[in-house]
Amino acid sequence: MDKVWLKQYPKGISAEIDANAFDSVAQVLEKSCTRFADKPAYTNLGHTLSYAELDRLTQDFASFLQNTLGFSKGDRIAVMMPNLLQYPVAIFGILRAGMVVVNVNPLYTPRELEHQLKDSGAKAIVIVENFIETLEKVIDSTPLAAVITTQVGDMLPLAKRTLVNFTLKYVKRVVPKWNIPGGTISFRDALSKGHATPMTPVALTHSDIAFLQYTGGTTGVSKGATLLHGNIVANLQQASAWMSTLTEDGKEIIITALPLYHIFALTANCLTFMKIGAQNVLITNPRDMEGFVKELSKHRFTAFTGVNTLFVGLLNTPQFHELDFSSLKLTLGGGAAVQKAVAQQWKQVTGKPLSEAYGLTETSPAASMNPLDLPDHNGSIGLPLPSTIFSVRDDNNQEVPIGTPGELCIKGPQVMAGYWNRPEENAKVFTDDGFLKTGDVAKCDEQGYFYIVDRKKDMILVSGFNVYPNEIENVVASHPGVLEVACVGVPDEKSGEAVKIFVVSKDANLTADDLKTYCKDNLTGYKVPRHIEFRNELPKSNVGKILRRELR
């Protein structure tokens, strides 16, 4: 496909990025910590770490992994926590030690956590005590050699740390009693031990793995997208170049409400804005909308990222309308389609447009973005980012004409190396000429803007999180009262899509509530079916395959 989109590039944006400007994500961090040493880096629960403090603490954690635990370059370290100051300290420490970050959703069920730890071969996990009960149930069947625990307030000054941790543990009682065989080490002790011995610098290249970022699979199990340092560095270069018309190094304040373990916030907020010396305001519990808005009122924020459901929640919170948006330059929506009505209301309330972007876990994630100077939401996913090629193809892998729908395929330096230990999946997802098949049906207009028309695969997108029907079906089918089950996505005003299951029961007494309870025990909250319909039979093909398309 001719790069027709280049004609629409904003002034000053080059068609190509310099992917070799940095050897690794660790080098990006080190340069920012030197250049912006005295500036605020990450803020959470009323406390801020400067870039200089971030530099020291990440070296301490890297040293602990190397010298106290004796781990080596390439070892996988899991991180299971919400947005806290411990998160950037942990992941940057892991990367500086030459090791691999395995991001884990804190809301995982024991089944999901066990799979990810075993599949990744993680040697250690950094986990917030609030969620350690989940780990306790499966640790004996995992390869973990060390468990590093942290409490929510651990990075706060002494008085506030003591108050926050005491309140959560003994007043709100959100920290369960737990017992990990072999014991654990606290995050604060880990930093103290690491501080006693210098970190050993590790030579990293673009071919070294930075993250195993897990996403759903067609087989019903989560699989790890292997994101190399080269992939992430390229995406940081692409995103920062695209935003350079609006942002100034060392002067931005970005609100990070999306979870950092999700690829969108990880790259867009935690990493890209770190690269330009911005202050990241980490929101631990964005579901508390009033508390969230109260935190927003304390900052003259210049940038904001979110998914459609987050924007809806804020716009329906009266106090949000009273905020001062005069400093806001950039609002970026992704993870799921931004609804036009939401974008229009956002502009009406804030006075600033809501720009839409597109990406996948497999593309680190940013692949396309709308020009940031567009006055209004246009319904497209924008233009391919610099050094990125989009190709729309038919079922025979042949490119289709402009305006014709087909499967969107992507090539660029941000595209993953492949799925971790999944050669059969890699063979399915990459074309012979090196394009990643996204499973999304798209079309390109004559100006080079791309539009998502439908999804070729059966994936369901709930508030920006991928849900794969096979996984839901496997769990529901394991219920003794279920004969057959099929799972589809249905439109939902709040979350974009919601999970619906169709069930043929073999127990006349089986209820929807029974199944929801069963699913809550085995699936993360956003995967739990919101709608359940019982049927006498499910539509099938002539070979007996359940036809999800007919059910949709």
CB-based contacts of 117, cutoff 8 Å, min separation 6 = 78, 102, 104, 125, 138, 142, 143, 144
Written as six digits, the tokens of 165 are 């941790």
Residue 514 has pLDDT above 60, yes or no: yes
Query: Predicted confidence band at 459 (pLDDT cuts at 50, 70, 90)?
Result: confident
Cα separation of 344 and 311, whole Å?
Answer: 11
Position 216 scores a pLDDT of 62
pLDDT band at 218 (very low <50, low <70, confident <90, very high): very low
pLDDT reported for residue 153: 98
At residue 342 the predicted structure's pLDDT band, cuts being 50, 70 and 90, is confident
What's the pLDDT score for residue 542? 53
pLDDT digits (tens, 9 = 90+) for 86-144: 999 999 999 999 999 999 999 899 999 999 999 999 999 999 999 999 999 999 999 99
For 69-94, the pLDDT digits (tens) are: 999 999 999 999 999 999 999 999 99
User: Which is nearest to 38 in space by CA: 54, 55, 52?
Assistant: 52
| pLDDT for the residue numbered 217 | 45
**Considering only CA atoms, which of 112, 178, 116 is closest in space to residue 149?**
178
Give pLDDT tens digits for 346-382: 999 999 999 999 999 999 999 999 999 999 989 899 9
Q: Distance (Å, rounded) from C-alpha 358 to C-alpha 370?
A: 9
In this prediction the pTM is: 0.87
Burial degree of 514 (CB within 10 A; 0-12, 13-18, 19+): middle
**C-alpha separations of 534 from 42, 482, 512, 513 in Å:** 49, 10, 8, 12
Beta strand pairing call for 389-393 and 185-186: unpaired
